[in-house]
Amino acid sequence: VLRRCDAVLSAFLPHLDVGARAVAIGGPCSQVPLPSAQQALLLHQTLEELVSAGLAFNMELATAKGVGRQPPCFSPSGWWLDTEEFPMLLMNALVSAWHQRYSSELCVCACGCVPGVRPDADEALTVTMLLDEAKQPSSIAGQLFTNFAAPMPWPPA
């Protein structure tokens, strides 16, 4: 999935003006504190390193299931395993990498809304707020936002 997302951005790059805003839309990320080794994997800045982090997650998941644990849970070696949220964390890490790579060309950020009464409306409102030209690109670039364009800490502590 990470490679496909990267390919989509790469395909659009020639068609975007300098300073364009790219908002990646994903699911919410939990506030569960990640173990430092797992958190460190999310700070890598290359696509291949993030793909490796996903593979490591899958190995930890298989080990946990092998001893009878079901996610969300901690693996025997201490990883937080959540099959719905970890892919979103990887996607947000990819957005962070894009910000580092394209910061002179694009304003890249991510939207991960927490489901509520009207999840589609909340997500649409957040994206609209992030695309508002009145918001300075420097105030949103490289960040993760949740409902109503509220910034979330990245990386998760």
Contacts of 154 (CB under 8 A, 6+ apart): 92, 96, 142, 143, 144
pLDDT score for 139: 86
Q: What is the pLDDT along the chain (157 residues), one digit of tens a residue?
A: 889 889 999 999 999 898 888 888 876 666 667 788 888 888 777 889 999 989 999 999 999 999 999 999 988 888 889 888 888 888 888 888 888 888 888 888 888 777 776 777 888 888 888 888 888 888 888 888 887 788 877 666 5
pLDDT score for 62: 94
Contacts of 141 (CB under 8 A, 6+ apart): 99, 103, 107, 108, 109
CA distance 37 to 1: 23
Determine contact, residues 21/127, Cβ cutoff 8 Å. no
Nearest one of 19, 154, 146 to 94, comparing CA atoms: 154
- Count Cα atoms within 13 angstroms, Cβ side, for 131: 11
